[in-house]
């Protein structure tokens, strides 16, 4: 890990990439420690990146959070502060923290900005507060901010272990293969840029509490996680793509059957998913996934990414395309 920290002013800066899950996390077994009901598998995605600076000035008072060039909203700042409280408690600090963070992609629209955001914040803040970490404990700290952030600490192909310890000490993410292991791509269509209507936590909890399909989704995940890991090791894109589509559809089936049902797709998403299946019938290796937002994400080999990007751009309603490839884990930056 590349280390850069200004000792005199206790500043640290870190950067982390977003990730997309191919075996989905969707349900908590413990909200206090943000522990998942099942494991998940993801790919860390460059160039979707959050960069965060943290300054500890020794002053008491409220944390100050800048998102991009502007002061962040009250709910965003409160979420960051709740996470910083955990780290302050660990470090025995009472100082406020000034956080400056920016994403190079739309925030809170189902593109995992909370994953890259809390991963970068966990790395910068533990460093500035002098909290000793290992890659595993850093992933577990990031998990406390946002579950999927645990998976943005390691790079490449990543598994987040569900774990069984009540305090979550065995629920961290680790890389099962480095970014260079396999030339795949995720082609992401931007089907809407506004913030999503339902937060992931709200959607997960309502799904757990009211959806008759929630238990089936959780119970089947361990099997698909084991199969997906084999597919990654064997570089078997047909198998991984098939599992990714299944896991995404099973997750969305569970949310749709909650009461009231949660529908993350918009008409553009649905059109894109149908198109991906048509391209497959045409002989192109493309498989979709979709998270707690409307953006369709297409798994393909890196060699097919340009063709897929051109096709996805033609789907009515797609505003933009981002092509991502396996990226490095979180690092401290200058
Ligand atoms: O970002 P979180 O921790 O609130 O959870 C996001 C969950 C999904 O993106 C819908 C699925 C996943 O595994 O990333």
**Domain 11-181 annotated CATH 3.30.230.10:** yes
Does residue 284 have a pLDDT over 80?
A: yes
Whether the model pTM is above 0.85: yes
**Beta carbons of 155 and 116 less than 8 angstroms apart:** no
- Which residue bears the tokens 């099942």? 38
Q: So what's the pLDDT on residue 193?
A: 78
Q: What angle do CA 100, 6, 142 make, to 5 degrees?
A: 50
Nearest to 324 by CA among 172, 117, 112: 112
- Tens-digit pLDDT profile for residues 137-155: 999 999 999 999 999 999 9
Query: What phi and psi values does residue 144 have, to the nearest 5 degrees?
Result: -70, -25
Q: Which CATH code is given to the segment(s) 184-326?
A: 3.30.70.890
- Cβ atoms within 10 Å, residue 17: 27
Q: So what's the pLDDT on residue 110?
A: 57
**Beta carbons of 297 and 184 less than 8 angstroms apart:** no
Longest Cα–Cα distance in the chain: 62
The residue whose CA has the least distance to atom 4 of ligand 1 is 200
Is the shortest distance between the CB of 40 and ligand 1 below 6 Å?
A: yes
**What DSSP designation does 304 have?**
G
Instruction: Select the more confidently predicted residue: 195 or 136.
Output: 136
Is the shortest distance between the CB of 115 and ligand 1 below 6 Å?
A: yes
Contacts of residue 172, Cβ cutoff 8 Å, sequence gap at least 6:
136, 137, 139, 140, 143, 150, 160, 161, 163
The residue whose CA has the least distance to atom 1 of ligand 1 is 148
**Beta carbons of 145 and 319 less than 8 angstroms apart:** no
pLDDT band of residue 109 (cuts 50, 70, 90) is low
Is the shortest distance between the CB of 38 and ligand 1 below 6 Å?
A: no
Instruction: Select the more confidently predicted residue: 107 or 326.
Output: 326
- Which residue bears the tokens 């089947």? 220
Contacts of residue 100, Cβ cutoff 8 Å, sequence gap at least 6:
52, 53, 65, 66
Query: Which helix (H) or strand (E) covers residue 122, if one does?
Result: helix 113-128
What value does the mean pLDDT take over residues 177-191? 97
Nearest to 83 by CA among 110, 44, 121: 121
Q: So what's the pLDDT on residue 129?
A: 96
Rounded-to-integer distance, Cα 120 and Cα 118, Å:
5
**Beta carbons of 285 and 304 less than 8 angstroms apart:** yes
Q: Please report the atom of ligand 1 found closest to the CA of residue 151.
A: 14
pLDDT band of residue 197 (cuts 50, 70, 90) is low
Is the shortest distance between the CB of 34 and ligand 1 below 6 Å?
A: no
pLDDT band of residue 8 (cuts 50, 70, 90) is very low
What value does the mean pLDDT take over residues 253-273? 97
**Beta carbons of 330 and 121 less than 8 angstroms apart:** no
Q: So what's the pLDDT on residue 6?
A: 41
Does residue 313 have a pLDDT over 80?
A: yes
Q: How far is the CA of 316 from the centre of ligand 1 (A)?
A: 26
Mutate to test the pocket of ligand 1, among 291, 295, 297 (most ligand atoms within 8 A of CB): 291
- Tens-digit pLDDT profile for residues 201-217: 899 999 999 999 999 99
Residue 201 class from Cβ within 10 Å (0-12 exposed, 13-18 middle, 19+ buried)? Answer: middle
Rounded-to-integer distance, Cα 290 and Cα 178, Å:
23
What value does the mean pLDDT take over residues 274-280? 98
Is the shortest distance between the CB of 217 and ligand 1 below 6 Å?
A: no
pLDDT band of residue 34 (cuts 50, 70, 90) is very high
Mean pLDDT computed over every residue of the chain: 94
DSSP string, 163-182: ---TT-TT--EEEEE-GGG-
Is the shortest distance between the CB of 324 and ligand 1 below 6 Å?
A: no
Q: How far is the CA of 148 from the centre of ligand 1 (A)?
A: 5
- Tens-digit pLDDT profile for residues 47-97: 999 999 999 988 899 999 999 989 999 999 999 999 999 999 999 999 999
User: How does strand 184-190 pair with strand 297-301?
Assistant: antiparallel
Domain ranges of the chain: 11-181, 184-326
Q: Which two tokens stand for residue 146?
A: 């946002």
Contacts of residue 154, Cβ cutoff 8 Å, sequence gap at least 6:
44, 135, 139, 173, 174, 175, 329
What value does the mean pLDDT take over residues 8-28? 92
Q: Please report the atom of ligand 1 found closest to the CA of residue 147.
A: 3
Is the shortest distance between the CB of 25 and ligand 1 below 6 Å?
A: yes
63: number of CA atoms within 13 Å, CB side? 28
């Amino acid at each position: 890990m590349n280390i850069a920290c200004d000792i005199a002013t206790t500043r640290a800066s870190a950067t982390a990439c977003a990730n997309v899950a191919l075996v989905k996390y969707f349900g908590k077994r413990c909200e206090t420690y943000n522990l998942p009901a099942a494991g998940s598998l993801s790919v860390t995605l460059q160039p979707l990146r959050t960069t965060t600076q943290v300054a500890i000035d020794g002053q008491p008072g409220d944390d100050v959070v800048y998102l991009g060039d502007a002061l962040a909203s009250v709910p965003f700042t409160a979420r960051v502060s709740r996470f910083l409280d955990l780290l302050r408690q660990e470090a025995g600090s009472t100082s406020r923290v000034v956080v400056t963070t920016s994403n190079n992609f739309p925030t809170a629209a189902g593109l995992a900005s909370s994953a890259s955001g809390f991963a970068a914040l966990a790395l910068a803040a533990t460093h500035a507060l002098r909290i000793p970490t290992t890659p595993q404990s850093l992933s577990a700290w990031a998990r406390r901010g946002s579950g999927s952030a645990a998976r943005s600490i390691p790079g490449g192909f990543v598994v987040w272990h569900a774990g069984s310890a009540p305090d979550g000490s065995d629920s961290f993410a680790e890389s099962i293969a480095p970014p260079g292991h396999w030339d795949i791509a995720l082609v992401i269509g931007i089907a809407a840029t506004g913030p999503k209507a339902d937060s992931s936590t709200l959607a997960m909890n309502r799904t757990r509490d009211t959806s008759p399909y929630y238990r089936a989704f959780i119970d089947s995940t361990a099997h698909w996680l084991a199969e997906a890991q084999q597919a990654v090791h064997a570089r078997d894109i047909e198998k991984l793509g098939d599992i990714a589509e299944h896991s995404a559809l099973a997750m969305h089936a569970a949310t749709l059957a909650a009461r009231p049902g949660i529908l993350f797709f918009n008409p553009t998403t649905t059109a894109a998913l149908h198109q991906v299946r048509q391209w497959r019938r045409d002989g192109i290796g493309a498989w979709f996934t979709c998270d707690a937002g409307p953006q369709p994400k297409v798994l393909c080999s890196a060699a097919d990414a340009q063709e897929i990007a051109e096709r996805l751009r033609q789907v009515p309603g797609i505003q933009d395309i981002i092509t991502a490839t396996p990226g490095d884990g979180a690092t401290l930056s200058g």
